[in-house]
Every structure is written in C-alpha cells, then in structure tokens.
Structure 1
Amino acid sequence: MMPMEEALERLLSQVTSLGRTESVTTPLARGRVLAQDLVSPLDVPPYDNSAMDGYAMRAADVAALGGEGAVLPVSQRVAAGSVPQPLQPGTAARIFTGATVPEGADSVLMQEQCEAIADAADSTGATRSLGQVRIHGPLTVGLHIRRRGEDLRVGQPVLSAGMRLNAASLGLAATAGAAALTVAARPRVALFSTGDELVLPGQPLGPGQIYNSNRTTLHALLLAMGCEVRDLGIVPDSLEATRAALREASKDADLILSSGGVSVGEEDHLKPALEHEGRLDLWQIAIKPGKPLAFGEVTSTGGRTWFIGLPGNPVSSFVTFLLFVRPVLLRMQGATQLTPRALPLPAEFTWTKADKRREFLRAKLSDAGGLQLFGNQSSGVMSSAAWADGLIDLPPGATVAPGQVLRFIPFNELF
C-alpha cells in the first residue's frame, strides 16, 4: 500500500492552478483564494485619533499645574469626522472616540478620570465658554492616542496572493479601502455517485437499498471549498452508464468527483470506464478509513478533466475528501497553504487496536481540553463524523494511553 504522503505528492505534482481569476466585492469574498496581492494605498489610521471619549491635552500643561487635581479650560469640542483647530496652550479639548487629535495635544485622558466643570451663567443666563475639566488620573505622553499608520502604512502589503480569505482578512481589506478583490475563479466540479443500491433521501427504500449520504456530504464540502458544483446524481452500475457520465461531466468541469465503485469487484466500473475515456491510477493508500483512491483524467472529449474517485463507505469518503480532494482544490485555486495545522492534545481514552495503516480517528474536544473518542470507529458509521470536532492522526502501529499527546486536526482547519 502507498503511504499517504506519496499519494498526495503524486496528486499535487500533476494538478496545477487553473489560472482563472475574477473580481468579487470584498464582503462576498469569504472563503475565496486571493489571486493578487493587496497593497495599502493609505496610512491606517490616516491621522492620530482618540481611542477614548475624554479630553485631549498636553501632558506638560497638566504637570505644570501640579498633575492630578489640575483644572484646564476647555477650548474646543472635537467629534469624530470633524477637523479640529490646533490646541491652545494651557487648555483641553473635549474629544470623542475616533476623532482627530488636535495638533499640539499629546495625550487623551478618558472621561471617567475627568470631572467636567460648567461655567457659571452671566446676567443673561447664557454661558460663554465650554467650561473646564479637572484631572483625576495619571497622564503620560501618548496616552489613549492611536497613531497615524500604526495599523498599515502606505505601500505596505496587506494581504498576499494565495491566502484563503476569512472575515478578519476581509475586514482588513476594507480598512485599506478595497471595495473589491481579485480572487481565483471557483473550480467547476462535476459530482456523481455510483451504485444501484443508492436512493435519494425522501424516496422510499426498496429491498437492499440505502440512502445516498455521500452525495450530500461531498456537495456540502465542495461548496465549503468555494467550488461550483454540478450534481449528476446517481450513476447505474454499468460500464456504458459510467462512461457516459464521465463524458458528460468532462464537458464543463475542471474536476470530476465520484464516490463508490473504485474497488476491483465485478460491479465496480470506474476503472474500465476511465481506461476507455482517458487514464486511471488506482491506488491502495495505507490509511484507515479510506484505502482505495482513484485518480486520473478524462480526455475522450478533446479536453483534459481531472478525476478523483473516493470510496463508497460514508466515513471513508468524508475522510479521503479532506485528506486528498481538499488540497487538490486548493492547488487549483493557487492557494499557498495546502495542509491543515494540527494541535498536540492529550488523550482521554485508551486505544489498543494497533493497525498497520495510518489511522484517522474521529474525536471530540472535552471541556478539559483533552480528546474523547467516538466509540464506534467503523467506516460506515457517519454519526462518528457528525459527533466529532476533528480527526486524530494516529501513526501506523500506534496504541494510545490516557494522557498521551496526539496529533489532532480540527475540522475548522479543514472546512
């Protein structure tokens, strides 16, 4: 059997970036792969501004008046979006969060440490100034001031091509003024399942039939990877139907993805079908679940469409998608980070069933930060994947004792 690393290397050595790009408005680019570096056209923030509601002043003016307890007249009021006047010496400016710090001010004291003193009314009942402020807190130069360019500088790289965009990176792009981003076009994926025993959810089950869960799982995973999905449904177990499905799928797809029919039984027709319509490599991967994996291409229609065939057992199909199809789709989109990050976490279970293959066990994080194992690790038990928070990557021949540190890949690194 082929080690997982070798199989993945073979896959990625043949698949290249599609090279297609499109412009997408920034709020809609979540999960897409950035195709063009974003460079900041401005300083962020573009001016010194207040991090607090309070009073802007000179620290030296307060020190000259004895520090805490000093009283300064208020010379102006500065709201966010307004343009302040230079600060008059010996005065303070009432200021609000995000407002431009007046020229000459070097600190902001939050309003909770200030006491506003209103001016007395004159004979007409009107007040002629903005009052005074008494200082009730320590003051240092730079206090509560967000400096111009402390987040981004003009010409500074903001986001790099090849990264998958999340909500925080989109917020950063918007901070730099980017209304749209150039991203990799969505890979076009044709999806089908094989098997006369499969029935769509909602239809009645006949003798020997089961509901097709793989189609739903894989469709959801493809959407999470930013793909355009063309669902071709269930293909009957015949060589002619399988060949026809491959030709139809290859017309406008970058990748054909199937589940089931990748073994070598008499009713497994993908191997001869691919050999007629293009080429196929059928690999036995040294992992559990998910040993059989098919990889090839359809060329009979004049183009070149990649094909990956996953095993039919639902957990095997789910896991092999995450381990093999996910990095292929990322490579097609020009992503730079293809492998998920793993966490070292302690086991809260015992595992004595050492296997010669590398195992991917479904596990959940406990409130104590350890790993709990689903009781039934069968490749046909999809409830193990729905229950879990991620996969334990267990080396061949390994057993597990409580407290042993294991390599855990969270699902939020994979979806």
Structure 2
Amino acid sequence: MGCCDAPGLMPIEDALFKMLESVTPITTTLSLSLPDALGYVLADEITSPIFVPPFDNSAMDGYAVRLADLSNTDTLPVAGKSFAGQPFEGDWPQGTCIRIMTGAKIPQDCDAVIMQEQTKVTENGVQFLADKIKPNQNIRPTGDDIKQGAQVLPKGARLTPRDIPMIASLGIAEVTVYRKPKVAFFSTGDELRSLGEPLGAGDIYDSNRYGIAALIENFGCEPFDLGIIPDCPETLKATFEQAQSMSDVVVTSGGVSVGEADYTKDILEQLGQIGFWKLAIKPGKPFAYGQLDSALFCGLPGNPVSAMLTMYVLVQPLLAKLAGCTEWKPEPMIPAVTKQGFKKSPGRTDYQRGIYSIENGQFVVESTGNQSSGAFRSMSLANCFVVLERERGRVEAGETVQIQLFNNTLY
C-alpha cells in the first residue's frame, strides 16, 4: 500500500512545504559583541576591512635570504632578527641573512625563507643545505587568506565556533544579527513526572522535555520550559495562552493522538487553526502543525523517539527559516549496504536508527536493535538514520539503502 492509499496521512515533503510556506523570518536585529554572537544568524554579510595576513610573513622558522646573495656562496652571516610582533628594521647589508620566525614580517627585498632544518650554524655564519631554493618559498603573501573587501560570511549564516576566530582576525568587534526565535514548550499527561519525583503506579519520567530543550538550544533558539501540564482542558488552554504570549513557536509533547484525554486538538481549534494532523512518517505519525493567535504551533507525539525525530526532521528546518538562517540545509542522503535485514511495510517513510561504518571504502549500516518509538536506547546508540522510502517494503541484508548522518545538533 502506498502513502496515497493511507487516508489522512500527508507525505513528509508536503508537510515541510506547508510548514515553511507559512513562516515569515524574524527581522528584528541586535548588535552584539563578537563573543556573545555565537549561534546567532547574521543580519548583514561580513566583508573584510583588511588583508589577512596584513603583510608578507614567514610560514616557517628559519632564515630570510636574497637569492642573489647565495649565487656564489652557501654561507651567510646573520645581520638581524625578525620575530612575530618585532619585525627587522634598518638596513639589510648585502651578503647576509635575517633570522626569522613563523608569522614574522618578511624583510624588504627578501626572496625566500629557508627553514632552519635545512641549515647549519657555523663559525662563518649560517650554511644553507637545500639543493634548490625556489623564489618566494615559505613566504605567505599579503592577503593570502582573505582579500580586503572580500565577502567572508553571507547574510543568513549562523555563527559557529569556526566563524568567531575568523571574524576576530579581521578586527571586527561587533556584528549585526537577528534575534533568536523564542520557543515555549511543555509536556502533557497525568502519567508524567519530573526528575527527582518518585514514580507512582503507572507513572513514567518525562524525558521528552529534556531532549526538546537541548535541541531548541542546539537549533540556535531560546527555550522556555513550561513544565508538565496535566490532562485538564482548562489548565491546558491557559498554558497555551501563556506560551503563545511569550514565544514565536509553541512546541508540545504528547496529547496529539486519538486518546480520550488528548485535548490538544480541540484547544488548538479554539485558539487558532490546524494546518495538518497525521503524517506518513514512522515513527511520528501523530505530528500536528498549526497557527495560534500569535505563534506557530508544533505538536509532537508523546513517544520519546517520535518526539525527537519530528523535532529534528520537521521542526528544525522551520526554526532555521524563522531565524533567518538561509544557509541551513539537511544532511545529504548517502547510499549504504545493509549488514542485516530491516523490517518495513509500505505506506510511510521510515526513519530507523542505525549505526554506520566504512568498510573497504563503502558505507555499511546495521540496526541499533529495537526500533519501537518508545525505545529511546535506539537513538542513543545510533549515529545515523536509515531512511526507507514510503513505498518500500522489507529490506534484506546486502541491499542498498539511503542513510542520513546526524548533524551537530544531535552530538
């Protein structure tokens, strides 16, 4: 049975299109000091005000030479030193060399730097042992890394730990960024208990909120944890109203299936409108999306694997667009050979948890074991999703499947 034969189940691609189509990116900007800007999205492109490096400098510890001075000899006396922050100044006599360190400014008229491993200090000076010296060897020219006026980062890029030192190398102390999306979240269910509370008969610990909070932060957003809300229509409605008043997006965990105590759908219809309900995805079919009066709404399933999967696959791109992050894209699909069979029925795109490795240059993948939506150990062990197409059935060992490696939000 294909997905189109499963009444009421929307394909993931259609759901993502509808979600992203409804999002208007945040335009409010902030001016932040560089150390405080990590994880924010740039509201303006960054162009370099300087050349990097700003002067020709040495790539090695060694000796700066003029090739003409070595035309008739292999030994030169040392006339001075050029250290990082302490360049050689003054006249450089003909027939001499300059002791130079990595990063130090190249003396005027220097043709090459000879690394110290290719030299020998003698009574008459430094003997150069290299058979052949190339012009400009071991010299990093001005602007070798970044040219003045060049675009370094585009508008819409999220600042990573790799970007911060690069921007600092340009002497830029402040950057203009978009404010982070605010995400209020809570879990629903009388059976849920917070960590530190004793478990009664039929109770379980609420693990979803902790995973959701971590993902929201890793997605570059500001989380607001409203706790566990009991299965009470009045309390649930009041919590929705509070949540939308303080956030751009409201995320709930649980309360979106078809149980008698699942009130979320009714309340959402009172406070806003439902975009869709139930997707052709496994796990995570009872995922809801809609619009409250003043915030977007994402209703995650209550099972822990389903909640994390739908946060990762569906909510992550929504929050990226809301944050103005035009550079975000999902990890690519990679073909891999299965080391064992995978159970699968046609009808829904199945994100099974897998462990990939590389054998003889080929990606191979095996299951983490129990693929139940309530067995979170399968997520903890995994390093990739095995993404099985909607129409596909059981996969046998040795077949090729598509895997999606986790991005850094799951590490």
Task: Output the TM-score relative to the length of structure 1.
Answer: 0.91
- Other-structure match for 1:243: 237
- For 2:156 and 2:313, the matched residues in 1 are separated by 19
Q: In the alignment, which of 4, 22, 32 is matched to residue 12 of structure 2?
A: 4
Please state if 1:330 is matched with 2:325: no
Q: In the alignment, which of 50, 53, 63 is matched to residue 45 of structure 1?
A: 53
Q: In the alignment, which of 153, 158, 165 is matched to residue 152 of structure 2?
A: 158
- Other-structure match for 1:388: 382
- For 2:400 and 2:53, the matched residues in 1 are separated by 44
- For 1:292 and 1:337, the matched residues in 2 are separated by 29
Task: Return closer, same or farther for 1:44/1:352 CA change in 2, 3 Å cut-off.
Answer: closer
Is the 2:339–2:364 contact (alpha carbons within 8 Å) kept by the matching residues of 1?
no
Deviation at 1:90, TM superposition (A): 2.4
Is the 1:347–1:400 contact (alpha carbons within 8 Å) kept by the matching residues of 2?
no
Q: In the alignment, which of 105, 111, 132 is matched to residue 100 of structure 1?
A: 105
- Other-structure match for 1:78: 82
Deviation at 1:391, TM superposition (A): 1.2
Deviation at 1:60, TM superposition (A): 3.2
Task: Return closer, same or farther for 1:401/1:178 CA change in 2, 3 Å cut-off.
Answer: farther
What is the letter of the counterpart of residue 360 of structure 1?
Answer: Y
Could you give the per-residue CA deviations for residues 228-273 of structure 1, whole angstroms, max 9, x where no partner exists?
Answer: 2111111111221211111111111111100111123321101110
Deviation at 1:402, TM superposition (A): 4.1
- Other-structure match for 1:321: 311
SS in 2 for 1:366: strand
Please state if 1:136 is matched with 2:143: no
Of the structure 1 ranges 334-343 and 106-115, higher mean CA displacement relative to structure 2 is found in 334-343
* 1:214-253 to 2 correspondences below 5 Å: 214-253=208-247
- Other-structure match for 1:123: none
Task: Return closer, same or farther for 1:401/1:65 CA change in 2, 3 Å cut-off.
Answer: farther
Task: Return closer, same or farther for 1:57/1:404 CA change in 2, 3 Å cut-off.
Answer: farther
Please state if 1:298 is matched with 2:292: yes
SS in 2 for 1:196: coil
What is the letter of the counterpart of residue 349 of structure 1?
Answer: K
- Other-structure match for 2:3: none
Deviation at 1:343, TM superposition (A): 4.7
- For 2:208 and 2:69, the matched residues in 1 are separated by 72
RMSD value over aligned CA atoms? 1.7
User: When the two structures are aligned, how many residues end up with a matched partner?
Assistant: 395
Of the structure 1 ranges 372-381 and 260-269, higher mean CA displacement relative to structure 2 is found in 260-269
Deviation at 1:403, TM superposition (A): 4.6
Task: Return closer, same or farther for 1:20/1:403 CA change in 2, 3 Å cut-off.
Answer: farther
Q: Which runs of 5+ in 1 are unaligned?
A: 120-131
- For 1:92 and 1:398, the matched residues in 2 are separated by 74
- For 2:305 and 2:94, the matched residues in 1 are separated by 72
Task: Output the TM-score relative to the length of structure 2.
Answer: 0.92
SS in 2 for 1:347: strand
Deviation at 1:413, TM superposition (A): 4.5
SS in 2 for 1:248: helix
- For 2:401 and 2:34, the matched residues in 1 are separated by 38
SS in 1 for 2:401: strand
Task: Return closer, same or farther for 1:102/1:407 CA change in 2, 3 Å cut-off.
Answer: same
- Other-structure match for 2:372: 378
- Other-structure match for 2:354: 363
Could you give the per-residue CA deviations for residues 333-359 of structure 1, whole angstroms, max 9, x where no partner exists?
Answer: 101134312252423422252322111
Please state if 1:400 is matched with 2:395: yes
- For 2:398 and 2:255, the matched residues in 1 are separated by 40
Of the structure 1 ranges 49-58 and 358-367, higher mean CA displacement relative to structure 2 is found in 358-367
Task: Return closer, same or farther for 1:60/1:408 CA change in 2, 3 Å cut-off.
Answer: farther
Is the 1:114–1:136 contact (alpha carbons within 8 Å) kept by the matching residues of 2?
yes
Please state if 1:61 is matched with 2:69: yes
What is the letter of the counterpart of residue 244 of structure 1?
Answer: A
- Other-structure match for 2:116: 111
- Other-structure match for 2:191: 197
- For 2:354 and 2:219, the matched residues in 1 are separated by 23
- Other-structure match for 1:410: 405
Is the 1:341–1:413 contact (alpha carbons within 8 Å) kept by the matching residues of 2?
no
What is the letter of the counterpart of residue 173 of structure 2?
Answer: A
Please state if 1:172 is matched with 2:166: yes
What is the letter of the counterpart of residue 129 of structure 2?
Answer: H
SS in 1 for 2:77: strand
Task: Return closer, same or farther for 1:83/1:187 CA change in 2, 3 Å cut-off.
Answer: same
- For 1:404 and 1:60, the matched residues in 2 are separated by 66
- For 2:400 and 2:29, the matched residues in 1 are separated by 42
SS in 1 for 2:306: helix
SS in 2 for 1:292: coil
Task: Return closer, same or farther for 1:343/1:143 CA change in 2, 3 Å cut-off.
Answer: farther
Deviation at 1:30, TM superposition (A): 2.9
- For 1:149 and 1:210, the matched residues in 2 are separated by 60
- For 1:82 and 1:17, the matched residues in 2 are separated by 49
- Other-structure match for 2:329: 339
Please state if 1:269 is matched with 2:263: yes
Q: Which runs of 5+ in 2 are unaligned?
A: 1-8
Structure number with bigger Rg: 1
Deviation at 1:14, TM superposition (A): 0.4
SS in 2 for 1:165: coil
Deviation at 1:277, TM superposition (A): 1.3
- Other-structure match for 2:140: 146
What is the letter of the counterpart of residue 79 of structure 1?
Answer: F
Could you give the per-residue CA deviations for residues 258-311 of structure 1, whole angstroms, max 9, x where no partner exists?
Answer: 011112332110111011112223422111110112112221xxxx11111011
What is the letter of the counterpart of residue 213 of structure 1?
Answer: S
